[in-house]
Structure 1
Amino acid sequence: MEEITTEKGFKKNVIDKLQNEDTWMSLGEAFLKILIIMAISNIIIRIGKVAIHNVFKLRNLSPLNKSERREETLAKLLDNTLTYVVYFIAIMMVLSVLGIDVKALIAGAGVVGLAVGFGAQSLVKDIISGFFIIFEDQFSVGDHVRIGEFEGNVEAIGLRTTKIKSWTGEVHILPNGSITQVTNFSLNNSIAVIDIAISNGEDIDKAQKVIEDALAKMPSQYEQLVAVPTLLGIQTMGPTEVVLRVTAETLPMQHAAVTRMIRKDIKSILDEYGIRVPSAKFVMLPDGEK
């Protein structure tokens, strides 16, 4: 009988609360506060992102700007950080509106976080390393780097991991804490080295003059070239050939493509002027001789 009475009393209390105007007023007020909190949070995030990107646009116009890719990486990182911080504050305010003790919740989360932290030291190490990679400008998105045994273009840099895509298409995901040594090929211009073999007996002075004239025209043909390529002179001499060496300063990581283009153009100009390149010679021995 007591259980039935208790159950009836509970149902009566629920019905009374649902029929009470103050209850619906409180619910409506809480719902309105939550809507206002979420709307203000979205506005703050949008204004903050616009401000962040405008700051970096002004920096890009400055003559002191060094790396647009680094600034893009930092802008994305700040966008994400702003979003996380604002949403965290908004969620805490919503919980407070719903009558949940936020202080006790934060204190409990701190104790749990401390316990988890002892078992997640590698995660903390990855995050700290990620901050240093970005703010020290060790490398940025789009750079060509070598990290340990992996080499390729940086696809993404996060606070915990870095993604590198090799030229054959594989994507390597590396924890930032494991990155101890980096070779960045994109910070400075590259140098292309081209060796040109001339058949022994050809007029070397004529060959050099022809090659130098061709090199002088190349910067207007190839935008990857930073300056006029330089003919250094004779590199080696062999029984059938004389090797001339050409060097060219190119944009970062463009040396391989420039090497192929310069070699093709010089081969065509040498053929045009009748300057021979060395060719294999075969000697036929009479039967029985070795």
Structure 2
Amino acid sequence: MNATEKAIDKFIAYLSNEDLWILIGEKCLKIILILVLSLLFIRVGKALLNKSFEVRMKSPLRISERREATISRLLQNTLTYFTYFVAIVMILETLSLEVRALLAGAGVVGLAIGFGAQNLVRDIITGFFIIFEDQFSVGDYVRITNFEGTVEEIGIRTTKIKSWTGELHIFPNGNITDVTNFSIHNSMAVVDVNISYKEDIEKAEKVILELLPQLPARYEDMVKEPELLGVQSLGPTEVMIRVACEVKPMKHVPIARKMRKDIKGVLDANGIQVPFAQMMMYNPSNSTKPL
């Protein structure tokens, strides 16, 4: 029997060892149990966090809903990362690997690459101050650089915003320098109404003034009664009248649409026309005819 046959027989004998398969089975069961318990712990932990924030929402000392949603999402992410880390360590111990040596080696390697991970540290620190200073929260509508959207998630390292067309933009926290938050203060709905020069401007303003006190009862997003600011500008074919109204955050666009519809309706009902383009034709007989 040559060396190859001896090695094959030895390997077969090794695989035929019942104690080996019992040990492998025990380790596989332990790993499966660790994974199942980890997933169960994450699910229960998230449910408890959600429950605790629901109870806190009913407290008279609650913080803003925006901030609660942000902190809740951050705590859930932290719980998930921590649980996965512990599960990985337990699985390595189950596989009889020296976890302490691995962690010590990882510390040395981490120190070596730490000088090249400055961006990561900056992202984490910036993310902390974003939450601590309440610059924006989950659910806010913000503009970051040239992108606008609703904040979906503020993580330890990145922030995710979703635009109204569905794109998800992911920003490293360290790259967020200029932020415009549209969701903190009330917005202004501004409507410009064009009136033809041949119409009575005072009549048009009177008609609009009679309409404006009725609008807050129709639209609950209005904070104050709309205000007629007067003639905004004189155009080539029209007189522009401006109406403004303070509304709840991010409600200026839908309220402005509704105000335009209502104002157009009362103007039509009172026979007040908006300007429309006309073309004049000239002929040698010095007569003009509108087209």
- Could you say which TM-score interval applies, normalised by the shorter chain? 0.7 to 0.9
SS at match of 1:274: coil
SS at match of 1:52: helix
For structure 1, which segment, 176-185 or 231-240, has the greater mean C-alpha deviation from structure 2 after superposition? 231-240
1:182 aligns with: 179
Report matched runs for 1:10-89 at 5 Å: 14=14, 18=17, 34=31, 37-63=34-60, 65=62, 67-89=64-86
Q: Please tell me whether the aligned partners of residues 225 and 250 of structure 1 are also in contact (alpha carbons under 8 angstroms).
A: yes
**CA shift for structure 1 position 24:** 7.4
1:147 aligns with: 144
**CA shift for structure 1 position 207:** 3.2
**CA shift for structure 1 position 43:** 4.2
Q: Please tell me whether the aligned partners of residues 74 and 154 of structure 2 are also in contact (alpha carbons under 8 angstroms).
A: no
C-alpha distance 125-268 of structure 1, shift in aligned 2 (>3 A):
same
For structure 1, which segment, 248-257 or 92-101, has the greater mean C-alpha deviation from structure 2 after superposition? 92-101
SS at match of 1:119: coil
RMSD of aligned alpha carbons: 3.8
1:222 aligns with: 219
C-alpha distance 36-202 of structure 1, shift in aligned 2 (>3 A):
closer
**CA shift for structure 1 position 191:** 0.3
**CA shift for structure 1 position 155:** 3.9
- For 1:245, the aligned partner's letter is R
C-alpha distance 30-284 of structure 1, shift in aligned 2 (>3 A):
closer
* 1:69-96 CA distance string (max 9 Å, x none): 4433332322221122123223323333
CA distance in 2, matches of 1:238, 1:9: 99
**CA shift for structure 1 position 184:** 0.8
**CA shift for structure 1 position 143:** 2.4
**CA shift for structure 1 position 229:** 1.1
* 1:4-37 CA distance string (max 9 Å, x none): 9x9699669948x9356xx777667656655654
**CA shift for structure 1 position 278:** 4.8
- For 1:138, the aligned partner's letter is Q
- For 1:228, the aligned partner's letter is E
Q: Does 1:136 align with 2:106?
A: no
- For 2:225, the aligned partner's letter is V
Report matched runs for 1:228-267 at 5 Å: 228-236=225-233, 243-267=240-264
- Determine which of 188, 191, 207 is the counterpart of 2:188: 191
CA distance in 1, matches of 2:246, 2:95: 65
1:208 aligns with: 205
Q: Does 1:116 align with 2:116?
A: no
C-alpha distance 8-156 of structure 1, shift in aligned 2 (>3 A):
closer
CA distance in 2, matches of 1:122, 1:142: 26
**CA shift for structure 1 position 57:** 1.1
CA distance in 2, matches of 1:41, 1:80: 14
Which consecutive residues of structure 1, in runs of 5 or more, have no partner in the other structure?
none
- For 1:196, the aligned partner's letter is V
SS at match of 1:85: helix
C-alpha distance 76-143 of structure 1, shift in aligned 2 (>3 A):
same
Q: Please tell me whether the aligned partners of residues 200 and 239 of structure 1 are also in contact (alpha carbons under 8 angstroms).
A: no
C-alpha distance 161-97 of structure 1, shift in aligned 2 (>3 A):
closer
C-alpha distance 105-288 of structure 1, shift in aligned 2 (>3 A):
same
C-alpha distance 237-102 of structure 1, shift in aligned 2 (>3 A):
closer
Question: How many residues of Structure 1 are paired with residues of Structure 2 in the alignment?
Answer: 285
* 1:106-151 CA distance string (max 9 Å, x none): 1011112222222222222223323332343322333222222223
Q: Please tell me whether the aligned partners of residues 204 and 272 of structure 2 are also in contact (alpha carbons under 8 angstroms).
A: yes
TM-score using structure 2 length: 0.77
- For 2:226, the aligned partner's letter is P
- For 1:154, the aligned partner's letter is V
* 1:170-227 CA distance string (max 9 Å, x none): 5433222111110111111110122334445755554333212211222233343233
For structure 1, which segment, 277-286 or 214-223, has the greater mean C-alpha deviation from structure 2 after superposition? 277-286
1:287 aligns with: 284
CA distance in 1, matches of 2:32, 2:170: 40
TM-score using structure 1 length: 0.77
**CA shift for structure 1 position 250:** 1.8
Which consecutive residues of structure 2, in runs of 5 or more, have no partner in the other structure?
287-291
SS at match of 1:195: strand
